[in-house]
Amino acid sequence: MLGTALTVRSDRAEYLTLKGANHQAAHQFSERIKEAWSRFNLAALEKEAAHLDRIRAEVMLLAAPLRYPAACQIAPLLDDARALDASLLSKLNAEAIGPEAVERIAPVRKFAAEPRALRANGIAVFVASELDRWKEFFDTIESKPLTPEQRLSVVVDEDATLVLAGAGSGKTSVITAKAAYLVTAGIRQPEEILLLAFAKNAAEEMSERVEARSGVPIVARTFHAIAYDIIGIVEGSKPALAEHATDDMAFTNLIKQILKDLVHQLSAVSRAIIQFFAHFLVEPKTEWDFQTKHDFYTHLETQDLRTLQGERVKSYEELQIANWLYENGVEYEYEPVYEHKIAETGRRDYQPDFRLIESGIYIEHFGVRRQKMADGSERLITAPFVDRDEYLAGMDWKRQVHAEHDTTLIETYSYERQEGRLLTGLAEKLAPHVTLKPRPVDTIYDRIVELKQVDDFSKLLGTFLRKFKSGGYSLQDCETKSEQMKLGKRARAFLDVFAPVFEEYQKRLGGRIDFEDMILRAAHYAETGRYKSPFRHILVDEFQDISQSRARLVKALKAQHPDVRVFAVGDDWQSIFRFAGSDIHLMRHFGREFGGSFDGEASVHRTVDLGRTFRSVDQIAFAARTFVLRNPAQIDKKIVPAGTATEPAIRVVTVSKGEDEVKLNEVLASLSAAVPPEDKPATVLLLGRYRFIEPDMPDLRRRFRRLKISFKTIHASKGLEADHVILLNADSGRTGFPSEIVDDPLLSLVSPEEEAFQNAEERRVMYVAMTRARHTLTILASNARPSSFVTELRKDPAYGISTAPGAEPEAHACGECGGRLLGVTGKDGRIWYRCEHVQHCGNLLPTCASCGTALPRHVDGTSEVRCGCGASYPTCPECEDGWLVERSGPYGRFLGCVRYPSCVGKAQISSSRRNAPSARTGR
C-alpha cells in the first residue's frame, strides 16, 4: 500500500535505497540490474580469459609437475595468480558468473590462498614419479646402484639444495650423477652447468668421472680457475699471476723483505715495527687475567716470553721491562744470584729480577695492584691465585735484605702498568742512577732477526694479509672489530705495522695479481654485470670449506638469473680449514645465505642427508658420530655403517716415554700377522696432527711387507681411506692433539666468528681421523699425558673403546698449581712425580718409600697421606702435596716435608711414628 523499497549494494559495500517505488517497477528494475551485473562479471572474466587459462594450466600442472617445482619457478606464477585474484577473481560474484565459471577459477584462487601446500604436494608427486622414471639411470650411472638418499639428492632441485655427505657416503657419486642427470634429462645444456671444486686434482678427477659415467663433457673447475676466466673475459686478457702466489716460502720472504726495507727507511713506520717486536709480539696477558695457577702456566707455555737480549722471562710485565732496558742501551742480568750470601732461611738462593751491570742497581717487579677500600684508603692486592699475605711478606723480606746489605733496589708494580705508566715510571726511577743510550732502530731489528722472531711474525703478517684481502676487509673494519673484542693496544700496534706493509705489498704486485685478487675481482665483475654468466646450475663440492669471498662469487653468479640453482655437497663434521678462511657458518646458515623466497618465506632451501657410510664398520662410524655431536652446533645426521665389527674396532694403546717406536712396531706386527698369505697387503694409514710426527717410513715398509703403509697429516688425509688407521701422538701439550697452539688473537680481526664450543674445530679434525678407517682404528697415546680426546673416548662407555687392562693411568692433581703430576724416571733410576708445568711450578714428589712406585695422596677428612700399598704418613703442615718423613739434622731426628727445600714444613717425631719409613733423600 505504501510502495516498495529497492536497495542496491555497491562494490564498496555502500547501500543505495529507493523508497516508495511501484512494486512491479521495482521488481523489473531489480531483475535488469542482476542481468547487467551478470553480463558485467562474465565480460570481465572473458577479458582475462587467456591470462586466466594460462595461470590455471600452470597451477593444474602442479598436481603432476614435469619439472621440480622450485621456489624460483613457482614464485612468478604465485605473483600472477595473486595479482589476478586481487584485481578480478575475488570480486566476481558466484551467483552472477554461474557454477561452471566458479569451477574454472577455483584452482587459481586455491593456489593464491594455499600456495605452500600445493607446492609441497607437487614436489612429493614429482620426486616419486622422477625416481621411478630414472630408476635404470640411477642403477647404472656408478659402478654400484645409488642409494635411496643419493637418488633423492639428484632429483631434488630447489633454489638451493644442501647435501649432507658424511665421511664415505659417496658425495662424488652424487655430484657425478647430478651433472649427468641435468643434461640427460634435458634440464640444462653442459655449458649451463658450473662444477666447482677446491683443489685442482679434485676438479680434474670430477671432470673425468662425469664424462666417463655419462658421456657428457662438463669441465669441473676450481674457484680460482673460474675467477681467472671471468677476469680474462671482462678485461680481454688475464693478468700475470704473482710469482709468490703459489709459493708460500717466497710469499713469507717477500713480507720479511718489506719489513726490513721499512725499518731501514728509519721512518715512523720503523719505530712502530720495533715497538711491536719489543712490547706486543706476545699476547699481553698477566697473572691477573687468570683464576688459577694452572690456567696461567698453561697460557705461559703457549707464549715465547723471550726478550730482545735472548733470555726467557716469567711474565709479560718482566718482558716489557727487559725490552725497555735493551732498547735504551742499559746492560742488565736477568735473575742473577744476589751478590751477598743470605743467612740460612730455608729459602732458595735469593735471585732479584734484574741487576743493572754498570750501576749495580737491582730491580724487583712486584705483582701487586691497588684496591680502594670503603673508607677511602688503599691496600695492595695480589692475583686471584696468589696468597696475598705470603706475597707481601716476601716483598718486605726483599726490602729488608737490600737495606741490610746497603744495595739499591728499584721497585716496579703491576698497578703501574694498569695505570699506563710502568715504563715511564721506571725511566723516572732510574734517571738519577743510569744514563740511557738508546740503540739505533736498525741495530735492534738486526737483533730481532738474530732471534728468529721475524720469521714467525712474517708468517703472522702474511696470514693476516691473505685473510684481509680474501675477506674484503678494510682497516676500519679491523679497528672496529678490535674495539668490540677489546684487543686493546696490541691490535692498534699491529695495525700500525700492517697498514704500511700492506700498502707496500700492493705496490710490489705491480700489474700482477694474487689468488685473493682473483676471487674478489671476479665477484665484483659478476655483481656489477660486467660479466654475463651462462650458468644456471652451480654445483659445489666440499662445501664445508667455502670462505666468505668464494661465497660472494657464488651469490653473484646466482643473482644474474632468477632461475639459477645452487647445489652444495659437504659435511660440516669435516670443516677443518678455518685457518685458510673457511667459514662453517655459511653451511650452518645455508638457507639464509643461498636460499630463495616463496609466499613471504625467505631462506627457502632443501637439505638431503645421505645418511650412510660406505667406509667404516659400525663401531667406528657410531663412535665418530657420537664424538663430533658432543658439539651441539654440528648438524645432526643419521649414519648407516658399512658393516658390523666382530671384534673391538677402536683401541687405545698407551705409550711410555721413549716407547713410541716400539709400540708402533707392535701394532703393525699385530696387523701384519692377521693378513692371510694369499690375500693382498692390507692398507695402513698412519696419521699425525703435524708433519714432524712422521716415522721412518722406508724402514717400516721394509719390515712389514704384508702391509701397504703410508703417512699423512690428518688435514691432508681428507678423502682417503684405509683398512686400518693408526693415530700417532694423541697426547696433551702444545703440539699434541687437540693442538694447543692457539691462533694469534689478532687473526680474529680477519677471521670468521669463532665457535663457542671448546676445541670445536679440533674435534672435527679428530672425526676426520677416525673416519679414514674401514676396519680398525688404533690410537697411540702417552701413558702420562693422554690428550683430553683420548680421556673422553676411554671414560665414556658410549664409545666402546678397547683399552689394555691397567693401561688407564691414575690422574694426580698438583696441589701447588692445579696441573697434573706426571710420573718421570730420574737419573737415579727412581720414579718421581713432577708437575706438568715444570718450568713454572717446580713441584716434585718422590714415590712412596715403602713400594717405590706409587704416589701417596691425602685422605679426605684426616691428617694422613696414604699410599695404595698401605703405607701412611703424616701430612705436611705447610703445603698441599707433601708428607712428612723422618730426617736427621744438627739437633737430632725430626719429621720434614719430602718436598724440601721447596717446602720447609716440619714436625716433631711422636712416639707413634718412631718406626715410620725414613726419607730416601735421592735429590
Binding-site sequence positions for ATP? 165-172
Phi, psi of 255 (to 5 degrees): -60, -45
In 786-897, which ranges are continuous DSSP H helix?
788-795
Provide the 3-class DSSP secondary structure of residue 92.
Answer: coil
- Count of Cβ atoms closer than 10 Å to residue 90 Cβ: 13
Alpha-carbon Rg of the chain, whole angstroms? 38
* Beta-bridge partner residues of 380: 370
Gap between the Cα atoms of 28 and 678, Å rounded: 105
Gap between the Cα atoms of 686 and 717, Å rounded: 10
Gap between the Cα atoms of 391 and 394, Å rounded: 5
- Count of Cβ atoms closer than 10 Å to residue 306 Cβ: 18
C-alpha grid cell for residue 74? 613457482
Closest-CA residue to 905 (of 913, 916, 894, 921): 894
CB 755 within 8 A of CB 633: yes
**Strand 831-835 to 821-825 pairing:** antiparallel
Q: State the amino acid at position 38 in one-letter form.
A: S
**Cα distances (Å, whole numbers) of residue 61 to 58, 69, 588:** 5, 10, 34
Gap between the Cα atoms of 157 and 183, Å rounded: 13
Gap between the Cα atoms of 892 and 907, Å rounded: 12
Contacts of 421 (CB under 8 A, 6+ apart): none
CB 890 within 8 A of CB 921: no
Closest-CA residue to 726 (of 784, 807, 663, 677): 663
C-alpha grid cell for residue 588? 650452518
C-alpha grid cell for residue 552? 660472494
Phi, psi of 324 (to 5 degrees): -65, -45
C-alpha grid cell for residue 363? 730491580
Name the DSSP letter for residue 773: E
Gap between the Cα atoms of 658 and 423, Å rounded: 46
In 134-242, which ranges are continuous DSSP H helix?
135-140, 148-155, 171-184, 200-214, 223-235
Contacts of 509 (CB under 8 A, 6+ apart): 242, 517
Gap between the Cα atoms of 369 and 698, Å rounded: 59
CB 737 within 8 A of CB 728: no
Gap between the Cα atoms of 308 and 319, Å rounded: 9
**Strand 892-897 to 906-907 pairing:** antiparallel
Query: Helices 453-470 and 248-264 meet at what angle, rounded to 10?
Result: 110
Gap between the Cα atoms of 597 and 581, Å rounded: 28
Return the residue matching grid coordinates 663440492.
541
Gap between the Cα atoms of 41 and 34, Å rounded: 10
- Count of Cβ atoms closer than 10 Å to residue 673 Cβ: 9
Three-state SS for 822-852 is EEEECCCCCEEEEECCCCCCCCEEECCCCCC
C-alpha grid cell for residue 730? 694423541
Q: State the amino acid at position 854 in one-letter form.
A: A
Closest-CA residue to 570 (of 773, 726, 764, 789): 764
CB 648 within 8 A of CB 794: no
- Tell me the CA end-to-end span of the chain in Å, nearest whole number: 131
